Amino acid sequence: MKKQDVLNKNNRQKLLNLIYSVGATAIFNMVIQFWIYPTFERQMGEEQYGVALAILSMIAITAGTCGYAVNCSRLLGVEKGRTNSGDYNLILLAMGAVCGILGVIYLYRLELATPLSVLFFVVLIFVTMLRYYSEVEFRIRTDFLRYLVYYLLISAGYILGLLVFRSTGYWMVTLIIGEALSVLYVVIRGSIYRAPFFRPTKEFRLILSSIGFILLSALIDNIVLHADRILLLAITGDGSAVTLYYVASLIGKIVAMFTLPINSLVISYLSRYQGALTRKMWLGIVVAALLFGGIALIGCMIVSPWLIGILYPDMLEAATPYFFPAILGQIFYFVSGVLMIILLRFKGEKKQFFFNGSYAAVFFTCVAIGTALRGLYGFVLSILLANGLRFLAAVLWGLLSKKAEEVPYTIHRK
């Protein structure tokens, strides 16, 4: 009886953690997608708003990927005693410098570089990278209640920053305030920013190697996720085309964004799991993922016309033909992303890197051919095809062996 009570308590805690994790992302995305971005579009216009979306994609690809990679490396290295903040802080500092240089070069290519825009852009890159990294504070301890508080602070900071944007016209300040507020919360209440701040240990090279493989794999994944805006701007030179695709795929993108919090929860618990991944277990996971994806697709198709009509009424008619293929492509991305984090636990970083590399090659090939043949609609269909193939490949990869490789680490709650 007592054992059953313990199991029930554990299950209740897992359910609460899932609610906190998904709730955090839901609130964050509702604020940024339904409030912040529509305000940007109304005040900046379609053309400049499309350019801003491309810039945000650049930040997500560079700073977001770096912060996420260091986050995952620290999480997976806890059991090996790799907890010295100095190692990770040094790597973050170097990564931030590289991302800042790349970002400034991108601004110059867009002919948007001014002293103030460069300053805001570099600051936004650093605080975004630290925001992605700071999540590890809650993942290590599986403290998803504070994870929820963390994202509430980001959302509150964005709303506060929106007031500054309306007064000054500097849209980057909106995001800087939100990101900085959340990082400050971890600095004050957490432990990952404690001294020694920049003192490396003998584990530095091993940590750097671990981050390297995660970084390359996540970089490929993020490039593909955010390449749509950058590629459209590069191919067409028209910020309005970026805005149109963004609006058409908006609800699907919101679903795809839930990949990160769900993956954070999944990897936190899977890192404690000592068994193997059997075919029966894998098939059950795939069926559950498909059912969820189907429900999400139906919900998105019902909600999209209504919501886009409210947020972007002037673009509803133009975006309607793209709703189904654009949203389905994002649903495939979301479902396959959840499957891939499970395979990361059992297959390891190196194999996943090569898998993601192959997917990226397929993605860019499809996009290049599709866009050349049918323009924007071909672009949308190409993304659908590439993400559908990614899902099928992930399913087959999970079925290749009766048992998945054991990963030589476990993480225990402190």
| pLDDT single digits (tens) 78-89 | 666 556 677 888
Q: How many CA atoms lie within 13 A of 21 on its CB side?
A: 24
Residue that wins the pLDDT comparison between 231 and 279: 279
Q: Is 208 exposed, middle or buried (0-12, 13-18, 19+ CB in 10 A)?
A: middle
**pLDDT (mean) for 63-76:** 86
pLDDT value at residue 78: 63
pLDDT at residue 409 above 60?
A: no
pLDDT value at residue 155: 92
∠ CA 164-310-319, nearest 5°, is 105
pLDDT value at residue 2: 46
**pLDDT (mean) for 266-283:** 67
Read off the amino acid at residue 83. T
- Measure the CA–CA gap between 37 and 229, rounded to whole angstroms: 15
pLDDT value at residue 260: 58
Q: Which residue in this structure is represented by tokens 């293929």?
A: 325
Q: Which of 23-37, 80-94, 105-119, 129-143 has the lowest mean pLDDT?
A: 80-94
- Over the range 57-77, which residues count as b (16 or more CB within 10 Å of their CB) and which as e? bbbbbbbbbbbbbbbbbbbbb
Q: Are 151 and 86 in contact (CB under 8 A)?
A: no
pLDDT value at residue 228: 67
pLDDT value at residue 6: 44
pLDDT value at residue 412: 36
Share of the chain above pLDDT 70, in %: 80
Q: Are 265 and 212 in contact (CB under 8 A)?
A: no
- Measure the CA–CA gap between 365 and 362, rounded to whole angstroms: 5
Residue that wins the pLDDT comparison between 411 and 350: 350
In this prediction the pTM is: 0.71
The first and second tokens of residue 325, run together, are 């293929």
| Residue among 363, 389, 367 at smallest CA distance from 378 | 367
Most confident residue range from 46-50, 175-179, 391-395: 175-179
**Average confidence score pLDDT of the chain:** 79
The first and second tokens of residue 40, run together, are 């940007």
pLDDT value at residue 8: 60
How many other C-beta atoms can be found within 10 angstroms of the C-beta atom of residue 168?
Answer: 10
303 Ramachandran zone, left/alpha/beta (phi>0; psi -120 to 50) = alpha
pLDDT at residue 7 above 60?
A: no
By residue count, the chain amounts to: 414
Q: Which residues contact 234 (CB under 8 A, 6 or more apart)?
A: none
pLDDT at residue 220 above 80?
A: no
Residue 360: pLDDT band (50, 70, 90) is confident
The first and second tokens of residue 354, run together, are 């090569």
The first and second tokens of residue 231, run together, are 């590629």
Q: Which of 114-118, 236-240, 242-246, 318-322 has the lowest mean pLDDT?
A: 236-240
Residue 275: pLDDT band (50, 70, 90) is low
Residue 229: pLDDT band (50, 70, 90) is low
